[in-house]
């Protein structure tokens, strides 16, 4: 091939002679096979598992897998296992590199304490990955012999992969960038973290699942697509930090910022590992979708892989995700600007279950202390039942207001029978509805058949209306309001919720919430 000219597509050239392909692969696989021999023959306690060596192993396996795929090795009986083992080496070299990164980065992450020993679990996962790579590299050497591929012998080459790491870091002597304010920066980053945490509930699945049932988590909720999406989001959040916070004065003004960055980073790298392991499970081990050449003779048992995936990568990602949430709440409370907002009571049945739940979800999302005030009483806005408790007071105010309104109606005098009382009540209710003071949710209304004939007519009317309210047949339209006090960021979302009808119209039908409140749907 002449440099500067585009080669013809390999697929367009027909079928390559196997002898010719063996000769071609012999040259392209030479470096990977050399590395495979060095690794497979090394002792478990050797210092060969270094980022230098694993990085080179990863690079060579990526190149060889791409080359094999270009010639269709995946679908060739003679070469399919060689290709699958190359893919295995690539994937677990990638996992190994991520584990090494975590191992050496742990001191700088400043992670908050958890109940499990992350460093020890990382070391165990690293050892398991070493064993998998040792099995895979031995397997590819066996395949190389079967395929008549020469394996270079050069034991001295290992010296170049030994990693000498003197202690210490370079002096931090670059000028720092200026940003607007610590409060604004912290608020932006912590809120972004909380929004992302709300999307990452699947990372808490391990504590809900018995190890014997790990396989039932695939493909829902644990799938390569779901994990890859979360990995991308955490990588974006890490980039947001590095763009707007790193090398700024603010980073040194709030000790929580680099700690939060450490939690973002460790979750990201654990998700990178989890994504690779799920990919391997789905592509090579799953009974429905796996590669038959590796399922027959697997490099790693499916349950062993699932244990590493669930009990290490996803479990620790969930633990550090939750610690990052707690830190974000703490940071936001330090910079909270307290305000007050007054909003109307929901038009449909007041603070019933749906609006009470949405209000509480907003408050819990931010982790702030928000109080709801009605008259002279205060309620915890993070507790749906506490909010719902206020509804009795709202209904009592509605009934008192309605009694005053009914007093303006001319009511018939004298003794009335039950039928006549029904007619008067129905007439009053319909007139109030025409005036826009009542909502009618049911037609025809189901009125009581018997009344207190000895009682005052007004009392019969108000008692019956209370019955209609309790049975959900009507509701009273008023201009009652409630007030919230606390963090202005939370108040902004509560105001938006109220302006959106608390997610329902005056007849209780669902209406869309604005995109700013999308986290409420999760």
Q: Nearest CA to 285 among 269, 308, 267?
A: 308
What number is the average pLDDT over the span 430-437? 89
Give residues with Cβ within 8 angstroms of 309, minimum separation 6.
Answer: 214, 274, 277, 278, 281
Report percent pLDDT > 70 for the chain. 93
User: Which of these CATH numbers, 3.40.1130, 3.30.70, 3.40.50, 1.20.120, describes 15-159?
Assistant: 1.20.120
Contact between residue 394 and residue 480 where contact means Cβ atoms under 8 Å apart:
yes
What number is the average pLDDT over the span 31-44? 87
What is the three-class DSSP state of 282? Answer: helix
Going by pLDDT thresholds of 50, 70 and 90, the confidence category of residue 12 is low
Q: Nearest CA to 174 among 246, 259, 240?
A: 246
Q: Which helix (H) or strand (E) holds 507?
A: none
- Please, where are the H alpha helices in 150-204? 182-198
Q: What are 481-515's pLDDT values in tens digits?
A: 999 999 998 999 999 999 999 999 888 888 899 98
- Please, where are the H alpha helices in 158-291? 182-198, 224-244, 249-253, 256-280
Which range among 111-120, 257-266, 466-475 shows the weakest confidence by mean pLDDT? 466-475
Provide the pLDDT for residue 288: 65
Report percent pLDDT > 90 for the chain. 52
- Between CA 330 and CA 368 the distance in angstroms is 9
pTM of the model: 0.77
Q: Is 60 exceeded by the pLDDT of residue 290?
A: no
What is the 3 state secondary structure string of 70-127?
A: HCCHHHCCCCHHHHHHHHHHHHHHHHHHHHHHHHHHHHHHCCCCCCCCHHHHHHHHHH
Q: Nearest CA to 25 among 58, 72, 94?
A: 72
- Between CA 484 and CA 494 the distance in angstroms is 8
Structure tokens at 219: 């493909």
Going by pLDDT thresholds of 50, 70 and 90, the confidence category of residue 2 is very low
Q: How many residues does the chain have?
A: 522
- Please, where are the H alpha helices in 335-417? 353-366, 384-406
- Between CA 334 and CA 384 the distance in angstroms is 25
Residue, of 168 and 29, whose pLDDT is higher? 29
Q: What are 169-182's pLDDT values in tens digits?
A: 888 777 777 766 77
What is the three-class DSSP state of 373? Answer: strand
């Amino acid at each position: 091939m002449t440099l500067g000219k585009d080669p013809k597509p390999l697929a367009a050239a027909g079928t390559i002679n196997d002898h010719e392909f063996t000769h071609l692969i012999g040259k392209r696989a030479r470096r990977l096979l050399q590395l495979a021999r060095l690794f497979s023959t090394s002792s478990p306690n050797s210092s060969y598992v270094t980022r230098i060596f694993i990085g080179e192993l990863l690079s060579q396996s990526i190149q060889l897998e791409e080359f094999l795929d270009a010639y269709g090795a995946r679908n060739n009986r003679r070469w399919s296992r060689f290709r699958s083992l190359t893919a295995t080496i690539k994937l677990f070299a990638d996992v190994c590199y991520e584990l090494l990164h975590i191992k050496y980065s742990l001191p700088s992450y400043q992670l908050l304490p958890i109940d499990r020993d992350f460093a020890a679990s990382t070391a165990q996962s690293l050892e398991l990955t070493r064993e998998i790579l040792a099995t895979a590299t031995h397997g590819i050497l066996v395949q190389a012999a079967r395929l008549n591929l020469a394996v270079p012998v050069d034991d001295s080459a290992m010296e170049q992969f030994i990693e000498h790491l003197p202690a210490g870091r370079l002096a931090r002597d670059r000028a720092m960038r200026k940003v607007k304010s610590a409060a604004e920066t912290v608020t932006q980053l912590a809120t972004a973290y909380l929004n992302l945490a709300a999307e990452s509930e699947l990372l808490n699945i391990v504590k809900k699942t018995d190890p014997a049932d790990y396989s039932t988590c695939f493909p829902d909720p644990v799938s390569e697509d779901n994990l890859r999406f979360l990995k991308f989001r955490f990588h974006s959040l890490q980039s947001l930090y590095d763009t707007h916070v790193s090398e700024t004065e603010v980073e040194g003004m709030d000790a929580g910022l680099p700690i939060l960055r450490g939690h973002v980073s460790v979750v990201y790298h654990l998700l990178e590992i989890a994504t690779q392991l799920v990919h391997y499970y789905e592509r090579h081990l799953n009974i429905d979708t796996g590669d038959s050449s590796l399922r027959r003779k697997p490099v790693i048992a499916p349950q062993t892989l699932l244990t590493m995936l669930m009990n290490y990568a996803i479990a620790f990602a969930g633990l550090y995700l939750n610690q990052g949430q707690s830190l974000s709440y703490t940071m936001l409370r330090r910079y909270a600007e307290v305000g007050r907002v007054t909003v109307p009571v929901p038009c449909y049945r007041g603070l019933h279950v749906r609006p009470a739940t949405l209000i509480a979800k907003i408050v819990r999302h931010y982790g702030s202390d928000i109080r709801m005030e009605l008259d002279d009483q205060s309620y915890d806005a993070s507790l749906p039942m506490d909010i719902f408790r206020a509804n009795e007071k709202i209904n009592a105010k509605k009934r008192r207001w309605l009694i005053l309104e009914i007093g303006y109606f001319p009511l018939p005098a004298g003794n009335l029978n039950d039928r006549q009382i029904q007619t008067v009540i129905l007439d009053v209710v319909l007139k109030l509805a025409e005036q826009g003071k009542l909502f009618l949710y049911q037609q025809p209304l189901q009125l009581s058949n018997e009344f207190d004939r000895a009682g005052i007519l007004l009392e019969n009317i108000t008692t019956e209306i209370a019955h209609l309210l309790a049975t959900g047949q009507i509701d009273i339209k008023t201009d009652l309001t409630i007030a919230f006090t606390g963090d202005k960021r939370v108040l902004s979302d509560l105001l938006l919720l109220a302006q959106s009808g608390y997610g329902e119209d005056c007849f209780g039908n669902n209406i869309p919430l604005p995109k700013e409140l999308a986290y409420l749907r999760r």
